[in-house]
Amino acid sequence: MAGISIGELNAKKNTKDKNTVYELTSLVSFWFFGNISVNFEIISHYKDNLLVKSRTTTKSNRGDFFSKIDWINEQYEISATSYKYELDTALANPFYFSSSKLYFEEPILHAVFMAENYGLSSPIKKKGDYYEVDVNGNKNKFYYLNGKLEKAIMQSPIKNYVIKRKSN
């Protein structure tokens, strides 16, 4: 977007004992043949590094969407709605990495992750100086410096955008 800021993303990580909670919140507003406003939140819970619960909410003038992921009886129960997308399924594979963790650590040891807002698994591919994930046809690139996320180039059905680190 030629250096124009369209919003902010705040990422928080809280750890207590063997439990970690990742929280991403953003409020974005831009013009795209009309004003688009998006309020987005992901809260993901890990226990012993296993993703055990996630909730994603999106409120926008294009609709309100929600996804939930729960680790129950050795499988994930998934219900997800997003812009022009719905999924209700179960997955048996455990996940130790998800999109919310991409904002806190480089996925050096991970080949696959869970995209919380879609409830889909996706491979993580190292390509030169970045990692690429393809979630539901959206190719996102994550660039790290000394293990910390510096920049992400994101594709979205509504608008493509770039996320840049503001502080350590």
Percent of the chain with pLDDT over 90: 62
Residue 47: count of CB within 10 angstroms of its CB: 13
The reported pLDDT for the residue numbered 40 is: 84
Q: Note the pTM of the prediction, 2 decimals.
A: 0.86
Tokens 């594979």, located at residue = 93
**Which helix (H) or strand (E) is 132 found in, with range?**
strand 130-135
pLDDT tens, 122-154?
999 999 999 999 998 889 999 999 999 998 888
How many domains are there within the chain? 1
Whether residue 3 is contained in a domain is answered as no
Whether residue 44 is contained in a domain is answered as yes
Whether residue 38 is contained in a domain is answered as yes
Whether residue 108 is contained in a domain is answered as yes
Concatenating the DSSP letter of every residue in 2-44 gives TT---EEEEEEEEEETTEEEEEEEEEEEEESSSEEEEEEEEEE
The reported pLDDT for the residue numbered 121 is: 94
pLDDT tens, 58-100?
888 778 999 999 999 999 999 999 888 899 999 999 999 999 9
Whether residue 107 is contained in a domain is answered as yes
Whether residue 154 is contained in a domain is answered as yes
Local confidence band at 15 (pLDDT 50, 70, 90 cut-offs): very high
**Which among 102, 105, 148, 118 is positioned nearest to 54, based on CA atoms?**
118
Tell me which DSSP letter residue 101 carries: G
pLDDT tens, 28-45?
766 666 666 677 899 999
The reported pLDDT for the residue numbered 101 is: 95
Task: Look up the domain containing 70 and give its range.
Answer: 8-164
Q: Which two tokens stand for residue 1?
A: 């977007």
The reported pLDDT for the residue numbered 154 is: 80
The reported pLDDT for the residue numbered 1 is: 38
Whether residue 1 is contained in a domain is answered as no
Whether residue 2 is contained in a domain is answered as no
